């Protein structure tokens, strides 16, 4: 099967011990004939197949492959080292991951690793690398010549494995890793290579060490420098680990593609302590993907679209797909499950992913799970192998997608907005707040405005700031910028770009040290203003966090303290341009002293929003966090942002209440129109590009009239309709 010339549709099938060994033929035949899928994914787990140092057991996997060969299903072989064998733990107990509270984590089972061996062993120990590599090489040799093999997934949801979802009873110290002696030594070596001399290092961390041997990673509050470097170290280590896995597989089998896929997609759902940088992880592989769990996190349609845009952006021009789309409800705890997906969700999710450039869908998973917290969930089929309304809906949408794969595979998404995402800012927020939630919310808020303006976004990293072709650049909560990034941003504006930025942009340098004047460097000139001191704000109706003498924060209310000035209670900023609207300040309020910029938003005498022309471009600067106001769905914030986006970028199609997207192929195109309203059908006229004269509904195959370049479209609540457009 040629993955690159097919819109792939499939499902995850096997993760030991489910489905049971004596049921494979029945299920695989059903997947091929009744569901019509092309591909099944099999998760191989190290400890399951490598039970003694010199013995491998792949018999059940070969049985599954025999049936796949026979019925004509392609196999995605997922390999994993995040389930180490127990004999290796016995040999090297010092290789257990150690958390910040000093506890070594014994191997065991976990919801997504029911067969045990989780979370694996720390890669800073040579024996783990040696035996892990032997296992990968043996696996590839076993399967590389099988007819059914389509490609390898070399790492499921890469992150620092022990950091999430493992210890429901733990505190944050139980979710920080790895503090084993070998990891500490590797970190010291990394610092020495980065800084060269202890003096240079001391100047950055503000310390008085005399040797790198004295340095330990942060376990308590630390300085921002400590956390920035500790998390940078892990991001680089994990990227190198990805390189190693890809290299080992390709040395044994240069023919087949190697993919991987993200579990979380920062800046949506950032988890700084888990050390996820999908731009780094996608770099060594041939194709990228993402897990996608909208009901687990109650994502609206805009955030679903954002997850796909982030995935496409991190893939960096390589093909991407949805590696895990839910098959059923997902777990939170035993009784607590997400809502059950409905038939229409599969139409909406799949067409949304396709509109954002995805080249295929794999479901997680086929059969309801049997063990632990996931038991009874995730499957599109019930545990007894019978169909659900979901499996039948999935079958139908898969047929529609593949019928139009000529368009889907040829299409390229054109973005009008670049959005800066810097993993350093996630790390900084983690050090500041013990969570990077505010950074995630800032991004989610801004993207909602982009989505409702019918624009597409490309998420970029600081290294890509000199290659922006989009007319608009958004920097949500840009609290840390290096000097080079500032120069690139200023050059972008001077050359005609429009910058949208929040308060305290460039507040910290790469060391994590406060810059004395803001906006940082030449950005002050580009924005035409100087920032005054920041003032913290609190929601009007909430108790204020009060520091106490023992260092904790209490939720004591204002009764024990002098009343706060109004400015500290999320004051409303009155905008006068580009339109009149009120926007509540979020987190910091920073008065702006203009130096050429035009005030566009004020609270009393304070200027809190400005517009400035610089060179051929524009800067909109907010003395607060507009992304957070947008995330709270403040109407005024959305009105202001919609007007700014409309003034500087033109969408391909523009909707009113409907969200139309065009997937432009070589000869034909697909018009995909979403209705986000939860209760009401919406009918609208959509103005199409001129070249189309014929529209055919993809589901009904009925032809509709295009009159004066417009198509009248009605979409039911939370639904999608798709038309094939031809000239």
**334 prior amide bond cis, ω within 30:** no
- What mask of x and - would describe binding to Zn ion in positions 477 to 516, judged by CB under 5 A? ----------------------------------------
Nearest CB to Zn ion, comparing residues 122 and 585: 122
Sole binder of Zn ion in the list 44, 180, 272, 450 (CB under 5 A): 180
Q: Which of residues 2-41 bind Zn ion (CB under 5 A)?
A: none
How far apart CA 699 and CA 99 sit, in angstroms, is 53
- The torsion region of residue 280 among left (phi > 0), alpha (psi -120 to 50) and beta comes to alpha
Asked whether the beta carbons of 546 and 616 are under 8 A apart, the reply is no
Nearest CB to Zn ion, comparing residues 241 and 405: 241
Size of the site for Zn ion (CB under 5 A): 5
**312 prior amide bond cis, ω within 30:** no
Nearest CB to Zn ion, comparing residues 14 and 177: 177
Segment lying near Zn ion (by CB under 5 A), choices 144-152, 174-182, 203-211, 288-296: 174-182
Q: How far is the CB of 182 from Zn ion (least distance, A)?
A: 5
Nearest CB to Zn ion, comparing residues 180 and 527: 180
Nearest CB to Zn ion, comparing residues 183 and 239: 183
178 binds Zn ion, rule: CB under 5 A: yes
Q: Which of residues 93-122 bind Zn ion (CB under 5 A)?
A: 122
Q: How far is the CB of 168 from Zn ion (least distance, A)?
A: 23
Element (H, E) at 186: helix 181-195
How far apart CA 586 and CA 274 sit, in angstroms, is 27
How far apart CA 198 and CA 191 sit, in angstroms, is 9
Nearest CB to Zn ion, comparing residues 125 and 443: 125
Q: Which of residues 119-158 bind Zn ion (CB under 5 A)?
A: 122, 124
Alpha helices in 404-528 (DSSP H): 405-410, 423-433, 437-452, 483-494, 523-527
Q: How far is the CB of 96 from Zn ion (least distance, A)?
A: 8
Half-sphere exposure of 158 (CA within 13 A, CB side): 31
Segment lying near Zn ion (by CB under 5 A), choices 178-186, 410-418, 689-697, 718-726: 178-186
Our measurement of the distance from residue 170's CA atom to the centroid of its chain's CA atoms, rounded to an integer in Å, reads 25
Sheet of 617-622, strands arranged across: 457-460, 417-420, 472-475, 498-501, 617-622, 606-614, 598-603, 572-575, 581-584
Segment lying near Zn ion (by CB under 5 A), choices 142-150, 176-184, 187-195, 483-491: 176-184
Q: How far is the CB of 108 from Zn ion (least distance, A)?
A: 17
Q: How far is the CB of 98 from Zn ion (least distance, A)?
A: 6
238 binds Zn ion, rule: CB under 5 A: no
- Tell me the Cα Rg of the chain: 26
Element (H, E) at 129: helix 126-143
How far apart CA 75 and CA 69 sit, in angstroms, is 9
How far apart CA 121 and CA 692 sit, in angstroms, is 58
Q: How far is the CB of 95 from Zn ion (least distance, A)?
A: 7
Nearest CB to Zn ion, comparing residues 31 and 121: 121
183 binds Zn ion, rule: CB under 5 A: yes
Q: How far is the CB of 178 from Zn ion (least distance, A)?
A: 3
What is the pairing mode between strands 113-118 and 108-110? antiparallel
- Other Cβ atoms closer than 10 A to 693: 12
Q: Which of residues 200-219 bind Zn ion (CB under 5 A)?
A: none
Segment lying near Zn ion (by CB under 5 A), choices 177-185, 188-196, 385-393, 576-584: 177-185
Q: How far is the CB of 176 from Zn ion (least distance, A)?
A: 12
Q: How far is the CB of 97 from Zn ion (least distance, A)?
A: 6
Question: Using CB under 5 A as the criterion, which residues of the chain lie in contact with Zn ion when the complex forms?
Answer: 122, 124, 178, 180, 183
């Amino acid at each position: 099967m040629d993955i690159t010339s097919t819109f792939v549709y499939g499902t995850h099938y096997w993760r030991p011990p489910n489905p049971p060994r004596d049921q494979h033929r029945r299920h695989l035949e059903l997947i091929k004939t009744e569901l019509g899928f092309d591909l099944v994914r099999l998760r191989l787990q190290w400890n399951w197949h490598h039970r003694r140092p010199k013995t491998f057991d792949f018999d059940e996997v070969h049985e599954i492959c025999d049936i796949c060969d026979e019925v004509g299903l392609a196999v995605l072989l997922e390999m994993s080292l995040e389930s180490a064998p127990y004999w290796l733990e016995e040999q090297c107990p010092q290789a257990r991951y150690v958390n910040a509270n000093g506890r070594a984590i014994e191997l065991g089972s976990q919801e997504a690793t029911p067969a045990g061996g989780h979370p694996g062993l720390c890669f800073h120990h040579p024996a783990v690398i040696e035996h892990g590599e032997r296992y990968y090489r043996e696996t590839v040799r076993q399967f590389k010549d099988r007819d059914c093999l389509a490609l390898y997934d070399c790492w499921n949801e890469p992150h620092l494995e022990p950091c999430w979802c493992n210890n429901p009873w733990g505190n944050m110290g139980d979710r920080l890793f790895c503090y084993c002696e070998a990891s500490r030594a590797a970190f010291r070596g990394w610092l020495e290579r980065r800084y060269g001399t202890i003096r240079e290092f001391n100047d950055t961390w503000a310390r008085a060490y005399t040797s790198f041997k004295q340095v330990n990673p942060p376990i308590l509050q630390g300085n921002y420098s400590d956390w920035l470097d500790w998390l940078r170290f892990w991001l680089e280590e994990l990227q190198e680990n990805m390189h190693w896995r890809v290299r080992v597989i390709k040395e044994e089998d240069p023919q087949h593609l190697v993919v991987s896929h993200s579990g979380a997609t920062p800046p949506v759902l950032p988890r700084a302590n888990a050390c996820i940088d999908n731009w780094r992880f996608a770099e060594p592989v041939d194709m990228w993907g993402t897990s996608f769990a909208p009901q687990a996190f109650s994502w609206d349609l805009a955030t679903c679209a954002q997850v796909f845009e982030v995935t496409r952006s991190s893939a960096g021009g390589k093909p991407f797909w949805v590696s895990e789309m839910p098959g059923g409800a997902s777990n939170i705890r035993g009784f607590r499950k997400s809502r059950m997906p409905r038939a229409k969700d599969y139409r909406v999710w799949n067409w949304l992913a396709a509109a954002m450039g995805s080249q295929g869908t794999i479901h997680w998973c086929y059969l309801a799970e049997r063990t632990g917290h996931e038991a009874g969930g995730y499957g599109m089929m019930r545990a007894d192998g019978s169909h659900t309304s979901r499996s039948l809906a999935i079958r139908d949408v898969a047929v529609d997608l593949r019928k139009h794969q000529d368009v889907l595979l040829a299409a390229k998404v054109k973005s009008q907005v670049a959005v800066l995402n810097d993993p350093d800012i996630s790390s900084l927020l983690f050090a500041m707040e013990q969570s990077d939630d505010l950074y995630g919310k800032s991004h989610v808020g801004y993207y909602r405005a982009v989505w409702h303006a019918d624009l597409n976004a490309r998420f970029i990293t600081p290294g890509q700031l000199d290659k922006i072709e989009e007319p608009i650049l958004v920097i949500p909560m840009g609290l840390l910028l290096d000097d080079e990034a500032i120069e690139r941003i200023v050059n972008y504006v001077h050359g005609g770009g429009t910058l949208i930025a929040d308060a305290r942009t460039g507040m910290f340098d790469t060391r994590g040290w406060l810059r004395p004047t803001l906006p940082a460097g030449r950005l002050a000139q580009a924005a035409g203003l100087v920032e005054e001191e920041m003032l913290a704000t609190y929601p009007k109706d909430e108790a204020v966090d009060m520091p106490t003498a023992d260092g904790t924060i209490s939720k004591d209310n204002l009764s024990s303290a002098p009343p706060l000035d109004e400015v500290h209670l999320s004051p409303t900023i009155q905008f006068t341009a580009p339109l009149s609207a009120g926007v509540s300040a979020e987190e910091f309020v920073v008065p702006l002293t203009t130096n050429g910029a035009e005030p566009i938003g004020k609270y009393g005498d304070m200027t809190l929003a400005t517009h400035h022309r610089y060179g051929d471009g524009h800067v909109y600067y907010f003395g607060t966090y507009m992304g957070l106001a947008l995330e709270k769905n403040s109407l005024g914030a959305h009105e202001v942002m919609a007007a700014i986006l409309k003034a500087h970028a033109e969408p391909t199609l523009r909707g009113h209440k409907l969200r139309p997207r065009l997937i432009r192929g070589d000869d034909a195109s697909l018009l995909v129109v979403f209705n986000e309203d939860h209760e009401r059908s919406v009918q609208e006229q959509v103005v199409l590009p001129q070249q189309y004269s014929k529209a055919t509904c993809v589901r009904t195959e009925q032809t509709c009239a295009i009159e004066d370049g417009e198509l009248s479209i009605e979409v039911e609540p939370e639904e999608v309709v798709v038309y094939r457009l031809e000239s």
